[in-house]
C-alpha cells in the first residue's frame, strides 16, 4: 500500500471511530475506544483497527445482544481490549520508582509529600529525598535511621513492605519561643535503593535549578492531597507563627507566602516558578487563604545539599 493510500485508509478509520463513539460508549462494560493494531491469539498484527476498551472481557453468551460489540464498524474491524476500570490515580498511591509529589512520611506520621531529589554537596554521589521535618522526622521526635514510608501511613503504607528510605538528617524546629526563630522545616531521607526513586516531579518535570521568589511570581507545585496546583507569590521575607499542634507554636522568618494552593498532606511539596521550572520554596504550612513556604536557598543551606536538576 502506498503512503497516500495509507493516509486515506487511516482517515477513514478516524471518521468511523468518531461516528461510532456515542453508540459504542453506550454499551455495557465499555470504557473507551481508539485506534490500534489488531491482536490475534495474543499476537499484535500490523492491521489497524478500532480498539474498543472494556473493563473486563466477557463471553458473548454472557452479554445482552444489544451490548455485544460488532466485529466491524463500516467495514473497519474492531478489537476488544481489556483495560480494567479506568480511574484517576491519586498522588496517595504506592509508586515505584517513586516520583516527587506523591505521598511520603515517617512511619509514625500520617502522610506528607515527597518534595524532590537532592544530592550532598560534600559527597555528590549521595542522593536524598527532601521533605519537611514534620513529615520525615515527626517534628523532632524521630531518630536517624527511622523508616520512611511511601505511601505514608494514612494512605496505607506500613513497614517493612512500604519502607522506601531511612531518615538521614533534619533541621530541628524550635518551639514556643518568639526569639528562637526558625528558617526551615526540612529533612532528608536516603533511599534504600536508587532504583526506587526518580527526579521528575509528577505533573511538572525535573527542576531546572533555583530562583528567588518575587512578588507576583506565578508558581506551581505538586502535592499528595491537592495534586498539581498553581498560584502566585503574595508575600516575601515574611515572619509567621505556625501552630504544629501538640509540639506547640513555632516562629519562622524569611518565608514565602502564596495564594492558597494546598491542604493538609501537601507539606513537603516543592514550589517552583511556573515559567522557568526553577525551585523557589518548600511548602510546609498554610491556612484557608494562604500557603507558606520556606525559602529554598535556606533549605538547601541548612541540609548542605543541592537539587537534582535536569
For the stretch 210-223, pLDDT in tens is 999 999 999 999 99
Q: Residues in the chain, how many?
A: 310
Which residue, 76, 243, 237, is CA-closest to 176? Answer: 243
Is 229's pLDDT higher than 80?
A: yes
pLDDT (mean) for 111-132? 97
pLDDT confidence bin for 109, thresholds 50/70/90:
very high
**3 state DSSP class of 25:** helix
pLDDT (mean) for 95-117? 97
pLDDT confidence bin for 280, thresholds 50/70/90:
very high
**Spatial contact of 166 and 107, defined as CB atoms under 8 Å apart:** no
Pairing of strands 76-82, 43-54: parallel
Q: Measured between alpha carbons, how far is 89 from 101 in angstroms, rounded to an integer? A: 12
pLDDT confidence bin for 87, thresholds 50/70/90:
very low
pLDDT at 302: 98
* Residue ranges matching CATH 2.40.10.10 in the chain: 103-307
pLDDT confidence bin for 152, thresholds 50/70/90:
very high
Return the exposure string of 261-294: e unless at least 16 CB atoms fall within 10 Å of the residue's CB, then b: bbeebbbbbbbbbeeebbbbbbbbbbeeebbbbb
Q: Residues with Cβ < 8 Å from 47, sequence gap 6 or more?
A: 37, 38, 77
pLDDT (mean) for 147-167? 97
**Spatial contact of 198 and 99, defined as CB atoms under 8 Å apart:** yes
* Residue ranges matching CATH 3.30.300 in the chain: 3-82
| CATH number attached to the domain at 3-82 | 3.30.300
pLDDT confidence bin for 228, thresholds 50/70/90:
very high
Hey, how many other C-beta atoms are within 10 angstroms of the C-beta on 18?
A: 10
Beta bridge partners of 62: none
**Spatial contact of 208 and 310, defined as CB atoms under 8 Å apart:** yes
The average confidence (pLDDT) of the chain is 92
**Spatial contact of 218 and 275, defined as CB atoms under 8 Å apart:** yes
pLDDT (mean) for 182-209? 96
Is 234's pLDDT higher than 50?
A: yes
**Spatial contact of 191 and 96, defined as CB atoms under 8 Å apart:** no
pLDDT confidence bin for 7, thresholds 50/70/90:
confident
Q: Measured between alpha carbons, how far is 210 from 217 in angstroms, rounded to an integer? A: 14
pLDDT at 106: 98
Give the residue, 58 or 113, on which the prediction is more confident: 113
Q: Estimate to the nearest angstrom the gap between the alpha carbon of 41 and the chain centroid.
A: 37
Q: Measured between alpha carbons, how far is 134 from 284 in angstroms, rounded to an integer? A: 9
pLDDT (mean) for 282-306? 94
Is 178's pLDDT higher than 90?
A: no
Q: Residues with Cβ < 8 Å from 90, sequence gap 6 or more?
A: 227
Q: Measured between alpha carbons, how far is 143 from 133 in angstroms, rounded to an integer? A: 12
Angle (nearest 5°) at CA 284 between 280 and 289: 90
Beta bridge partners of 129: 117, 189
pLDDT at 289: 84
pLDDT confidence bin for 18, thresholds 50/70/90:
confident
Percent of the chain with pLDDT over 90: 66
Which residue, 299, 265, 261, is CA-closest to 280? Answer: 299
pLDDT at 85: 58
Least confident of 11-25, 144-158, 281-295: 11-25
pLDDT confidence bin for 287, thresholds 50/70/90:
confident
Is 1's pLDDT higher than 70?
A: no
pLDDT at 52: 87
- CATH for 103-307 (1.10.10.10, 3.10.20.520, 2.40.10.10, 3.40.50.300): 2.40.10.10
pLDDT (mean) for 244-265? 91
Amino acid at each position: 500500500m502506498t503512503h497516500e493510500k495509507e493516509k486515506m485508509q487511516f482517515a477513514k478509520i478516524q471518521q468511523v471511530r468518531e461516528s461510532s463513539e456515542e453508540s459504542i460508549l453506550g454499551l455495557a462494560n465499555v470504557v473507551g475506544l481508539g485506534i490500534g493494531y489488531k491482536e490475534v491469539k495474543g499476537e499484535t498484527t500490523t492491521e489497524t483497527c478500532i480498539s474498543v476498551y472494556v473493563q473486563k472481557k466477557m463471553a458473548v453468551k454472557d452479554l445482552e445482544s444489544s451490548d455485544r460489540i460488532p466485529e466491524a464498524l463500516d467495514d473497519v474491524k474492531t478489537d476488544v481490549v481489556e483495560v480494567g476500570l479506568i480511574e484517576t490515580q491519586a498522588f496517595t498511591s504506592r509508586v515505584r520508582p517513586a516520583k516527587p509529589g506523591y505521598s511520603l512520611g515517617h512511619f509514625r506520621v500520617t502522610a506528607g509529600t515527597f518534595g524532590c531529589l537532592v544530592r550532598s554537596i560534600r559527597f555528590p554521589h549521595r542522593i536524598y529525598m527532601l521533605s519537611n521535618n514534620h513529615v520525615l522526622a515527626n517534628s523532632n521526635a524521630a531518630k536517624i535511621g527511622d523508616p520512611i514510608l511511601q505511601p505514608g501511613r494514612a494512605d496505607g503504607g506500613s513497614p517493612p513492605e512500604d519502607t522506601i528510605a531511612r531518615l538521614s538528617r533534619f533541621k530541628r524546629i524550635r518551639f514556643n519561643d518568639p526569639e528562637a526563630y526558625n528558617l526551615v522545616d526540612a529533612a532528608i531521607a536516603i533511599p534504600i535503593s536508587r532504583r526506587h526513586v526518580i527526579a521528575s516531579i509528577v505533573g511538572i518535570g525535573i527542576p531546572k535549578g533555583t530562583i528567588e521568589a518575587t512578588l507576583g511570581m506565578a508558581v506551581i507545585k505538586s502535592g499528595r492531597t491537592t495534586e498539581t496546583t498553581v498560584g502566585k507569590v503574595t508575600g516575601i521575607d515574611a515572619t509567621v507563627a505556625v501552630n504544629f499542634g501538640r509540639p506547640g507554636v513555632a516562629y519562622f522568618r524569611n518565608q514565602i507566602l502564596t495564594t492558597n494552593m494546598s491542604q493538609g498532606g501537601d507539606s513537603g511539596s516543592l514550589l517552583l516558578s511556573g515559567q522557568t521550572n526553577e525551585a523557589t520554596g518548600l511548602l510546609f504550612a498554610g491556612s484557608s487563604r494562604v500557603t507558606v513556604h520556606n525559602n529554598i536557598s535556606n533549605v538547601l543551606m541548612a541540609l548542605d545539599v543541592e537539587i537534582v536538576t535536569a
